[in-house]
Structure 1
Amino acid sequence: MNAFRKKLATRLRNRVPRRVRERLIKKVTLRDVDAQETYFNINLTVQNFFNYKVERKLNIHFISGRTRRILNYTINQDRLQIKVPYAILDEMDRRATIELKFNGKRMIIRMNGDEEYQSLSFFSNSRYFNISAQGSIVLSHLLPEYQFEMEQPAKIERLGGTYCILELTLKEKVETECHLAWLYQNKLRILENVSEDPETLKIEDFATLTQGHPKLYLLKGNTLFPVSYSGTPLSMETVRYEIAFIPDRGYLSAEVVTHEIEMTAFETTIEGESINMRFAFNLPVSPETLLIVDTSTDVVTPVPFPTSEKDAEIRLDVPLGALVDTVSRKKLILKTRGTHPLQLQLNASHLKRIGFGGAIQAEYAHEMLKISFYQRRDGLLGFNVAERPLRRQVTEIDDFTMQGYLKGLDAFIDATPYLSFVDRYSLESVRVEIDRLFRVDLKSLDFTQIKSKEKTVIDLFVEIIHSDGTVLRKEKIKFKHSVYKKDTHYGRHEVTDSDGNVHYHLITTTPFNNLKIESFMIPKSVEITDDTEHKDYAIWLLGERYDTAQDNGYAMFNWLKENTDIEAYYVIEDTAEDYKKIETEKNVLAFGSKAHFDIAFRAGVLLGTHDLENLMPYKTAQGFFHYEDTIKIFLQHGVLGRKPVEYHRQYYELPFDLFIVSSEAEKQEVVMETMGYHENEVAVTGLARFDLLPHDNTPRDILLMPTWRDWINTDEAFLESEYYARYHSLIHNSRLNQLLEDYGVYLNFYPHYRAQSYFNNEHLDLRSHIRFIKLGQQTVQDLLIKHALLITDFSSVSFDFTLMNKPVAYYHFDAGRFFRHGSLRPIPETFIGDIAKNEEALIDAIETYIKNGFQPKAHDLSGILTYQDHNNRKRIYDSVMDKVKQRED
């Protein structure tokens, strides 16, 4: 029905003229905020709401946790003004919403499109607040670790500055340590004071600044005082910026701009392995180095100029590899010579009239690349290198045979295409040479020789291999007619090996429609009985991923053994580190063992934290030993709501019978509305592992625990990724390492299991206060309990940390790409803590928490966790038993 309505709405929208549609679309726009003595007004524009002025039809509520207040409002034509008393802000935690309902239906509110209104901030009772529109009006308490004493300015008597040195003389002597803080875009940058004079501030490091218009504050302890100054304006230079200090109504603000030089000409020619560049400028310049900055990773490649002559026209030969070794966009910066070097941004806006020409082809590393110089949106000179597209697809699968096509092979020099089958775990492979149009009989390939274990996944790639053996390109291949289901297949083939074991090979696809082969083996020693359709609902089989026993599955398994008569079994690979810790426990099964097959054939209830493939030694699909007759429980491994996940009901022919969640919001907004499950298929119980979390421990170290990126699928992609570059840079950051050593704090780095082989002691070269934690060395839950601060990016383990009343700092350098498929709930609702988008901002947050003794900020968990007790496992058990009774009846 929903799909039909969407199609109908689309047809009607396409038929109605836009100017008519604009008159019918209901709009509520947040315009601005004005402050009064005891309250502030939120001003909105309302369009196309008929009779919205009728008082009983419009209701406005302030909501923060369990606090709910009715707000007064006034209406004047299309203007709506909401009155918010300052006193009500004292009742909120970190965040509140103001919800508008008209005729019982929620009004969707958007920000005014004017740039100056995108951030609406104000102060109240020494606190700093921001208002934005995200469907509802969102009121956020910003920088809650600081107090703002707006009525007690710090008075500056003298302002002085030279190259990279700023000095401020205070009118009053400061007894405590203080620093200069810059506030802009609702972010705080703290510049360290290196002066030993208590009446003077001296700043020499401006690396954390960014371009903009900050307000200046004096930071003493955790209190910020606005800087009062009415003297002469000052301009100064740093390596990257020109900074103007401007008195503004008695207070000091700044304007930070990058150094730029206008280009009057720019020409390039490719000569062998180099690009010859000719620059002409409106002013003479003495260049020292051309800096090539990768805009996705901030990695800088310097190319020195051969001479030191000062001229308005210069030339430079740039090695082609310096520009094209990574496929990305780059910006070019000119660093000057002398005792006061400057980094000059190359302004190309004057060149718009002559243009840069189109993209050109360049041969590099046996491949034709498309490269181009261009004018960026900010007017600066940019460079882009892109690989020629390799189009590939399987168009038909029939009788375990694939046929498809390749396009774009002319981009490769002296190279041959192959269809490559790679075991996901051992990375062993088998290759088949193919043509532009190919047909491959998979029955002729021996997959058993590359299998790493009895149940495994083999991924399919197209590889372009040069005659010297170099892999020029390796990309996954899709199936044109893919209909993604986790528990189905497009083709099946069975092979009996020389020992009498039967190997099943199934052609399936990933959520991105990439092809793969799932393979499992039934050993000759396993006896398959004739009555596998008879399931025993008193036998429960539990598990997590193949190789772990530290999450909700293991927590639930232990509780069942201690508190019920259920015959509970836990399955895990016997090669896993976690297996060694629990192998002597009762009812622990080695994956793929004879005992595992026996229980898998008979178990009536399956409980897993991931897909049930991790529990079963065979394919979880209809027709495989009556899998369809089991009761399937999804225990989860986190709290949903941040990004779309692949557990949607539509992805299964046999969906979960029960989906465990932690709150009503998660149930209604995510699992039911977004993922398609029905009311009786979702239980609000809380996660099993939450029962084991203490709420009062006080450790001191920091845990760095990032999650994975689903777009990284090869070794080369990982090592060239922004993900690798960012975390490698972070753990080697000199400021961070010095901070840890100064305060005696250790940072323990625990990479995602798929990144462990890349981040390890052999390659990291770690300083004394950063340690690498290997997979299986400690359980995730133990790690969370033993640390005072968690640094992650998007991992749901942050909820465990927050539940223990401990702070979290998020590193969102690639949030746009991570959430490219959207997010299920607004980011402020699920990311409770500091969000840093660059390395320096993250280290600022780490420094703040170290200095304040890792004190958490106030937050409201009611929208994330309905229960904050230790009875989640009992609620899960009761919910599963309800399903058992229904099945038995």
Structure 2
Amino acid sequence: MNKIKATLIYRMKRNLKLKDHIKIVLAIAQFPVVFVAFIFSLFYQDRKKIWLIGETGNDAKDNGLAFFSYLRNRHPEVKAIYYITGRTDAAKQVNDMGPTVVTNSFRHKVIFLASHYILSTHDGYSIPFLGSNWREFKRVYGWLVPELKFVFLNHGVNKDDMVDNTNYKRTQFDYYITSTNDEYNEMSSEKYGYPDGSILETGLARYDPLQDGESSKENIVFMPTWRYYLADKNDAEFVKSDYFKKIYAFLHSPRLANLLQKSNIKFYFFPPHHEIQKRIPLFDLAGTEITPINTESSNFSEVVLKSAMMITDYSSVIFDFAYLYKRTAYFQFDLSAYRSGQYKEGYFKYNRDGFGPICTSEDELISEIEKAIAANFEIEEKYAKRIDRTFTRRDNKNSERLFSVLTK
């Protein structure tokens, strides 16, 4: 039964038209709740002055937190409120910074409708009405709050062909943050369909504090991304996948263990996606030289700063490491499967634009780690040049640029 349920959910998520129709129906069904919250919002003290900021609703470690921190420190006159739930360290941290609201609470709904800007790293999590993304909310209830605008803070750099999921017809975002000139040109292209002025090349807010932090060369971190086509697999099926087998074999390699012991380097397994996070126990890392990191209890920026080298397959988090001229490598053992089952190649070509060597086998990757350790993790000149070409600005003013756009 669980297998059937998982398969149905997966198919629904991949069927964009069906998913869109369901979301519209859910949005319409919530009219009584939306309308009551709207009436309350009419009497809210700071109506049309609020900047409602957040991420996935239960965390604070990405561009939402970085921009909220910037506003609280530099522009306390802005009525900024952060949406977050739970009695977690993250919630306590944000509560100490400034005003917050509990995610999906009735007060969240009222503040949402009383806001001037919604700023989030994610779409659906920021909308406090069941099943709605910004597009569905805007289509059904835009007439209630015509001046409300959505600012997509982003949670990485878009490098693949993502036109099916991120074109303007699907998102309806008022502003879309990009970090590089190539990304800006891609998202501004006709195929994505965004109105003039919607795509902003301000840079990610989380990059600003990275340059102020103290970097070190103590650790190596491995951050493979998820495979959407494995979402409907149970654990027994997942461990039979080539994806699991390749990563498991690498993490349990005797050659890697000997290298880490000899060099006294710490190695962390930090997959950023929640789907693989919940499957970390399957990798059986107890007693190995590998330490898993839980995304819920960690600070991504601290991981970046404390790591001397980052290894990924296709995750855009590698841009954060490249931004600081950190040593990187790609472990791409399933490129054709990834391209056919997940994202098509976009403007970013790994052989031409990548920030590190591409390894397709376990032995090749471990040899690259040996090479990096021997070089004290110094980045090779050709990759440094690619980074310079990618990031034309490193001025700690990403949040400032966004603030200027939103207040002009």
Q: Given the two structures, how large is their TM-score scaled by the length of structure 1?
A: 0.41
**Aligned mates of 1:686, 1:779 — CA distance in 2:** 20
User: Match for residue 78 of structure 2?
Assistant: 566
Q: Distance in 1 between matches of 2:187 and 2:116?
A: 28
Contact in 2 for aligned 1:701/1:786 (Cα 8 Å): yes
Structure 2 residues not aligned, in runs of 5+: none
CA pair 853-767 structure 1, distance change in 2 beyond 3 A? farther
Contact 2:38 2:110 in 1 (8 A): no
Structure 2 counterpart SS, 1:846: helix
Indicate conservation of the 8 Å contact 1:533/1:629, yes or no: no
Instruction: Provide the secondary structure at the position in 2 that maps to 1:570.
Output: strand
| Aligned mates of 1:481, 1:704 — CA distance in 2 | 32
- Residue type at the aligned position of 2:373: I
Mark the CA change 1:487 to 1:563 in structure 2 (over 3 Å): closer, same or farther. farther
More helix by share: 2
Q: Offset at 1:731?
A: 0.8
SS at match of 1:476: helix
1:699 aligns with 2:217: yes
Deviations 1:739-798 (A, max 9, x none): 0001111101112322122113x8514445311112222211111111100011111111
1:708 corresponds in structure 2 to: 226
Give, in whole Å, the separation in 2 of the partners of 1:574 and 1:656: 28
Q: For 1:614, which of 99, 120, 125 is the aligned residue?
A: 125
Paired residues, number:
387
Equivalent residue for 1:595? 107
Is 1:489 aligned to residue 15 of structure 2? no
- Opposite residue 209 of structure 2, the aligned amino acid is L
**Equivalent pair of 1:686/1:866 in contact (CA under 8 Å):** no
Measure how far apart 1:709 and its partner are.
Answer: 1.1
By how many angstroms is 1:838 displaced? Answer: 1.2
- Once the two structures are aligned, what percentage of the paired residues are identical? 25
SS of residue paired to 2:228: coil
Q: Say whether the 8 Å CA contact 2:327–2:379 is kept in structure 1.
A: yes
User: One-letter code of the match for 2:127?
Assistant: M
User: What are the within-5 Å matches in structure 2 for residues 740-779 of structure 1?
Assistant: 740-751=260-271, 752-760=273-281, 764-779=284-299
Matched, 1:460 2:8: yes
Q: In structure 1, the residue corresponding to 2:255 is in which secondary structure?
A: helix
| Residue 836 (structure 1) shift | 0.6
Equivalent in the alignment of 2:153: 635
The answer on whether the counterparts of 1:807 and 1:855 sit within 8 Å (CA) in structure 2 is yes
Structure 1 CA distance for aligned equivalents of residues 14 and 250 of structure 2? 39
| Deviation by residue 1:433-489 (Cα, 9 ceiling, x = unmatched) | xxxxxxxxxxxxxxxxxxxxxxxxxx835xxxxxxxxxxxxx735898927659952
Instruction: Please identify the structure whose Cα radius of gyration is greater.
Output: 1
Q: CA RMSD in A?
A: 3.2
Tell me if the contact between 1:662 and 1:867 (Cα under 8 Å) persists in the aligned partners: no
> Shift in Å at residue 718 of structure 1?
2.7
What residue in structure 1 maps to residue 58 of structure 2?
A: 547
Q: Which has the larger strand fraction? A: 1
1:308-356 superposed Cα distances (whole Å, 9 cap, x missing partner): xxxxxxxxxxxxxxxxxxxxxxxxxxxxxxxxxxxxxxxxxxxxxxxxx
1:630-685 deviation digits (Å, cap 9, x = unpaired): 11111111112234262211213xx1111111223211234434422233111111
1:837 matched residue in structure 2: 360
CA distance in 2: counterparts of 1:576 and 1:675, whole angstroms: 38
Q: Which residues in structure 2 correspond to 1:667-682 (within 5 Å)? A: 667-682=184-199
Instruction: Decide whether aligned partners of structure 1 residues 725 and 484 sit closer, same or farther in structure 2, where only a CA change above 3 A counts.
Output: same
**Superposition deviation, residue 737 in structure 1:** 0.6
Question: In the alignment, is the contact (CA less than 8 A) between 1:685 and 1:867 conserved in 2?
Answer: no
RCO (CA 8 Å, sep 6+): is it higher in 1 or 2? 2
Give the alignment of 1:2-401 within 5 angstroms: none
- Give the Cα–Cα distance (whole angstroms) in 2 for the partners of residues 418 and 712 of structure 1: 15
Q: What are the Cα deviations for residues 29-75 of structure 1, in whole angstroms up to 9, with x where unaligned?
A: xxxxxxxxxxxxxxxxxxxxxxxxxxxxxxxxxxxxxxxxxxxxxxx
Distance 1:531 1:829, change over 3 A: farther
**Aligned partner of residue 578 in structure 1, secondary structure:** helix
Q: Which runs of 5+ in 1 are unaligned?
A: 1-416, 423-458, 462-474, 495-503, 506-520, 883-889
Question: 1:577·1:776 contact (CA, 8 Å) conserved in 2?
Answer: no
Residues 1:879 and 2:389 aligned together: no
Instruction: Give me the whole-angstrom Cα distance separating, in 1, the residues matched to 2:14 and 2:177.
Output: 33
Which deviations, in whole Å up to 9, do the C-alpha atoms of 1:279-318 show, x marking residues without a partner?
Answer: xxxxxxxxxxxxxxxxxxxxxxxxxxxxxxxxxxxxxxxx
Q: Report SS of the residue matched to 1:592.
A: coil
- The answer to whether the 8 Å contact 1:662/1:866 transfers is no
User: Are the aligned partners of 2:28 and 2:140 in contact in 1 as well (CA < 8 Å)?
Assistant: no
Q: Is 2:346 aligned against 1:827?
A: no
Secondary structure of residue in 1 paired with 2:200 = strand
The one-character-per-residue Cα deviations of 1:372-405 (angstroms, maximum 9, x if unpaired) are xxxxxxxxxxxxxxxxxxxxxxxxxxxxxxxxxx
Counterpart secondary structure, 1:623? helix
Structure 1 position 830, deviation (Å): 4.0
Deviation at 1:527, TM superposition (A): 5.7
Deviation string 1:225-273 (CA, Å, 9 cap, x unpaired) is xxxxxxxxxxxxxxxxxxxxxxxxxxxxxxxxxxxxxxxxxxxxxxxxx
Q: How far apart are residue 421 of structure 1 and its match?
A: 5.2
What per-residue deviation string (whole Å, max 9, x for no partner) do you get for residues 492-551 of structure 1? 785xxxxxxxxx59xxxxxxxxxxxxxxx969xx96342757994421011112232111
Letter in 1 for 2:397: N
1:431-580 to 2 correspondences below 5 Å: 460=8, 476=11, 482=17, 485=20, 489-490=24-25, 494=29, 504=30, 528-530=37-39, 532=41, 536-564=47-75, 565-574=77-86, 578-580=90-92
Structure 2 residue matching 1:598: 3-state secondary structure? helix
Q: 1:480 to 1:614 in 2, by over 3 A?
A: closer
Structure 2 Cα separation of the partners of residues 570 and 668 of structure 1: 31
**Inter-partner Cα distance in structure 1 for 2:208 and 2:337:** 34
SS at structure 2 position matched to 1:540:
strand
The 8 Å contact of residues 41 and 110 in structure 2, kept in 1 or not, is answered as no
Between 1:552-561 and 1:708-717, the stretch displaced more is 708-717
